[in-house]
Chain A
Amino acid sequence: MESLNKSSQSGIKGLFASFVGFLRKCIFHVLSVGPMPTHIAFIMDGNRRYARKKNLKEGAGHRVGFLAFLSTLKYGYELGVKYVTVYAFSIDNFKRRAKEVQYVMDLLDEKLEELLNQKSILDSYGVRIRFIGNLSLLNESTRVATEKAMAGTAKNDKAVLLICLAYSSTDEIVHAVQEACNEKWNKLQEMDSNERGNDSILATRAMTHKECAIKLADLERHMYLSGVPDPDILIRSSGESRLSNFLLWQTTYCHLYSPAALWPEISLWTLLWAILNFQQAEAYLEKKKKLA
């Protein structure tokens, strides 16, 4: 009798889950009639506040936040979003207490291992993982974990998950400027002995200034997110409306959305609402892009 009750309960749960899944597909289908974003970026803010709000121990908010990250990722890829970028750890975050920084790094190592072992979301949606940022600032074990994750998903080609780690926009811009300048100097050195030997000093200086002119395309080529379309929507949870040095270069025509929910509280409805807002804004943003 008891086993009959248990099996009927699990049957009802399964039926309910199937119905919810069917309803979700219907909603996604209706939403897809309008313009859909190709790239959504997330600032996953509010994990610590969530832990304090729920009286959890320090660091527990990040664990719950990871579950919210997985479900958001799944919904995004189900909706056909090809690129998802998340701000996992800023260069500024290294200033936090050493214990918290270490906790986040250990959590990242653990969750990357889990993601690669399960392979459920990554393989079913064909997701390739890329890490963006000044990865030389990471400790050895985290760097190894990131390399393993990138190598493990290198063959996936349907969608991309960009995880910004030890990242800031200003660092990205400086890196791009450095690379562009190094490129110019190397080219000038190659030309030096052959073409400039017989020129007058003035002609040499004039040529040098012209050759040192760095174009926008040179910087774009050396940005960490080079080759990735700019984000269509940037969602920052917990109601904050700053970009906090995240994707400042790439968000010229990006719809900025700041729901009040803390990151672990983020739900499917937040994502749907963000996309509806984007659909209303899309025509205006496309017009602005064409005028530029």
Chain B
Amino acid sequence: EDGEKSSCLDETQRTLEFLSISDGKEGTAKAASHLCTKYLEVSDEPTFTEESMGEALRAVGCGGPQPNLLLVYGPVRCHLGFPAWRMRYTVIV
């Protein structure tokens, strides 16, 4: 969370990130596998939270800041699988 905030607010650095459809649902499945392995040896089954899911996504390389604005270039207004975790409150135009 702090790492994401600092990369968002650091005005001296611009980040260009390329995403593909595999960063969406498949990225979530990778994060789920990460959680499954991480807590395998724990005796009491843990209860996952949105925070733990966010950490798992970052651990597998599918974390990142939530865009404020998603510009869709094409004939249809559709997000085409943009990572769900990163567009909860994103304005889609």
Q: Which residues of A are at the interface with B, using a C-beta cutoff of 8 A? A: 168-171, 173-174, 176-178, 180-182, 184-185, 188, 208-209, 212-216, 218-219, 241-245, 248-249, 251-257, 280-281, 284-285, 288, 292
Contact = CB atoms under 8 A, between A and B. Distances in A.
A255 to B, nearest CB: 6
Contacts of A168: 88
Given A170-B50, A174-B53, A219-B25, A288 B80 contact: yes
A11 B61 CA distance: 69
B85 A170 contact: yes
B50 A174 contact: yes
Interface string B37-81: 101100001011110010000000000000000000011111111
Given A213-B33, A244-B88, A252-B24, A174 B78 contact: no
Given A174-B48, A243-B87, 16 more contacts: A168-B88, A169-B84, A181-B35, A214-B32, A218-B29, A219-B29, A242-B89, A245-B89, A249-B84, A251-B78, A252-B24, A252-B79, A252-B80, A253-B78, A284-B74, A292-B81
SS of B interface (majority)? loop
Contact of B48 (A177, A248, A253): A177
Report, nearest first, the 8 A-B pairs whose CB atoms are least far apart. Answer: A248-B84, A281-B76, A214-B32, A212-B36, A252-B81, A212-B37, A177-B32, A245-B88
